[in-house]
Structure formats: C-alpha cells, structure tokens
Amino acid sequence: MMHISQLKDTARIGPLDRLEVEKYYLPLLEQQASFDQAMNDSFTELGLADKPSILVKDYFVSLINGVYQNNYYSVQYQQTLHWLKAGLSFKQCLLLLTQMQQQFIRYADHLNSDALAKSLLHVVGLGQSIVTTVYSVAESIERMKARSNHEIRRIRNSYCSTSLEVSQTLIDAYINHQKWKMSAFELALEGQTESENYQSSHLDCKLANWLDEEGLQLIPEAQKQYFLEAHERVHRLANLAIEEAMQNRHENIIELLMEMEMASEDVMDVLLDLIEKQFVEEANTDSLTGFLNRRAFDFEFDKALAFAKRHDFWLDLVVIDVDHFKPINDQYGHQQGDTVLKKLADIFTQVARTEDMIFRWGGEEFVVITLDKEPEGSEMLAERLRKAVEKETFVFPDGAALKLTISCGALSYWAGLTLPEKTVFELADEQLYLAKQNGRNQISHRVYDVVPVNPGE
C-alpha cells in the first residue's frame, strides 16, 4: 500500500496547481452553499437521505485553500471515516467524489479557467486515493474484529452454556482480551487513544488484573515467560498502530495489527489450554467427592487394560455399594447424605494405593480399577475398604452417631482375554449382587481367567 505522504505526488498537485487554486480561493469560497446543497442532493439520490450530515466541518475549505499538506490529509481522512461510519460503501464514496469533480468543473467553467478545473480534479484524485486507503484498512480490521467476535461466541457456546463449572474468571480473561483487541482495532482505524475497553499498558488491562489475582499461578511454569512476553508485545504493537494512525501513516496499520494478531494468538493459545484443561477435569470429575466420574471410566478402563496386557498384570475391579443408604437420606436429609458420601470418599482415599483409580459411579455406588500381579489383589483391596468403613463412626452435627457398612463385588480379570468392557463390568457387578444377596457387609470375589464354554456359566 502506498504511503499516504506519497499520494500528493501521485495526484500531481504541483506548485502551479496550488497557485491556481489559491488565485480563485475567494470566488470558490462563495460556492460553499452551492457545493453543500449539491452534495446533499447526491446523498439523496444514493438513497442515503436518512444518514447524518454528509460533510465534516471545514471539508469544502480544505479542498479549495490551495495548501495540501497534513491538514488536508487529516480532514479527508476524517471525512472518509465519517462516510464509513454512516454506512456508505466504497462505491458510494467514489460516486460522491465524482459528483464533487463535476461541481468543480462547473465552477471552473464559470470562472473561465481550464487550469483551475485541472488542479481541482487533481485534489479530488488525491481524496480518492485516501478513500481507497481507508476502506482497505477498514476491511482488514473488520475481518479481524469478526474473528474476535467469533471467538467470543465460540467460547460462550462451548463452555458458558454447559452445566460444568469451568472457572468463569478464566473465561472472562479470555473474552476481555478479545474485547480489548477489538477496541485496539477501532482506535487504530480512527486514530484515537481513548476507549472504555482499551488500556495502553500491559500492566493495567483486565487480563493483567486477572494475572495478578490468580491467573499467573494457573499458567504452567514453562509457559509463563512466553505468555508474558506475548502479552506485552500485543500492547506494544497496538500502541504503535494507533500512533501511526494519529500521524496519518495509515499504510503501516495493517501490518502492525497483523503482527499484533499473531502475538495475541500466542496469548490465546495458553488461555485456551487452561480452559480446556479445566473443562476436561470438570467433565470427568465428580463434584461431590472429587473422584473420577462415570464418564471417565471408559477411557481409564481402556488405558488400564492395555497396560495390563503389555506387562502381564491382572486387571481388577471392585464395585462398591453403601448398605441401606436410602434410609439415611430419608431420615437425615440429602445434605447429610452428601456429608456421609464425602466421609466415605476420604476413607477410600486413605485406604487405596496411589495407583488405584476410584470412580463415583452414581448415588452411593463406587468403582475401583486397579492392577495387580496376583489374582487375589481385588479381593484384598475390597476387604481393606470394607473393614475401614465398618470400624468408622459417622457423627452428624446434631450429635447423632451412625455406623455404616459396604458390600463389594471384586473381580480379578486376566487381561489376555478379549471380553468387551461392558461384559467385564457386568461380571464384577454380579459379584456385588451376590455380596448383597448373602447378607451385605461382605465381599464376593471371582477370578476370571477362562471364558466358559457355555455363556451362562
């Protein structure tokens, strides 16, 4: 894109042209009312009569004063922004400029000066070049703004509309960064420095506030420096783009904003990783006990089975059910029932080994996946869990004390077999049924290393 300071030479507004315009300045100035009316008529012909005033202050004077330096460029730039904000298309702007040329030809004919006509046409030609530059910049900025808006909608639709409690402050940090960036786009186009959502310093923006309050602790140590440098670079490039606009160097804006966008992507990638990590953790974690939930079982089962096959381990399942739990909810209420489940979760965590994966299956049911070198592993784990619960006394806030028991179905499954996951789980669940049928507060264990000839066996 051509530097705006070079447009004067492109339009060939030489000294003789300027002198010719200056010579007829006063008679041209008398045509201001006529010029304004002609432009308003053109506005009406384009179907834009309901739009704001068509011309900015001093626009006509800037066209005829014979001095075409920074002031003229600034007025023409503001005039173009005015048309852009009023909703005029690039084609409509060019039609208006054509109408201006026709008016100037009439004025020059009236003054019997072909040289004046030529000079004024050159002035309008310079204006056309500025309009082209501004609309090109605006189009690029609109594309970047549209992308930011799309990202905001995507984040809200993906994470804010679910029942999962992904950190709202983290999501807000991501959205606030996108809003800040859109403000930077608008300010860079308009050559202004003030906006509600724009803070020039990387230490004062809403993302910086989030970093100070909690965000920096969430970012992995290996990414912190990379993130902070990218965030500072985003602000520096935005400030440079706005400064270029204020100095009428609009041809540099897009390059700076594109570099800013790339730095912003580095910032957003880190934030998205944090959001997705929290989302996955929330989606796969039971909010009451902190254990993995039923949704995570399939994935972890497949991983454990694959490991057991590679290293010749037994895959063990323990299915747990709290005995007579419904009367606790009925007598003490669901809130106290949740307190009991949390206490059970603490007991299970203390008894289980680090490698044992505990899932809350739903209600008062739990499942444990573990690996062992011997087929008795699931039986031994189930018995440790049963004994730990049996000896515990559960005390409610009102002083009432309660003893609980659990029933466990334990399965030691040889991983060399190829039964479907559903079938393996059903085998463990059958053992739980037997434990409850045989009187509860006990375990029932089965070693499964041979597929029976008859399916019912």
List, by residue number, the catalytic residues: 364
Which amino acid, residue 127?
Answer: G
Nearest one of 390, 445, 410 to 320, comparing CA atoms: 410
Retrieve residue 48's tokens: 């834009």
Retrieve residue 361's tokens: 């299956």
Residue 416 makes CB contacts below 8 A (sequence gap 6+) with 309
- Measure the CA–CA gap between 393 and 400, rounded to whole angstroms: 10
The answer to whether residues 40 and 94 touch, using CB atoms and an 8 Å cutoff, is no
Per residue in 419-436, is it b (16+ CB within 10 Å) or e — as a string?
Answer: eeeeebbebbbebbebbb
> Rounded to the nearest 10 degrees, what angle do helices 421-437 and 294-311 cross at?
110
Helix (H, G, I), strand (E, B) or coil at 81: helix
- Measure the CA–CA gap between 131 and 89, rounded to whole angstroms: 11
DSSP string, 341-410: HHHHHHHHHHHS-TT-EEEEEETTEEEEEEEESSTTHHHHHHHHHHHHHHT-EEE-TTS-EEE--EEEEE
- Measure the CA–CA gap between 444 and 2, rounded to whole angstroms: 83
DSSP string, 323-334: TT-HHHHHHH-H
Nearest one of 299, 308, 319 to 417, comparing CA atoms: 308
Integer-rounded Cα radius of gyration of the chain: 37
The answer to whether residues 174 and 155 touch, using CB atoms and an 8 Å cutoff, is yes
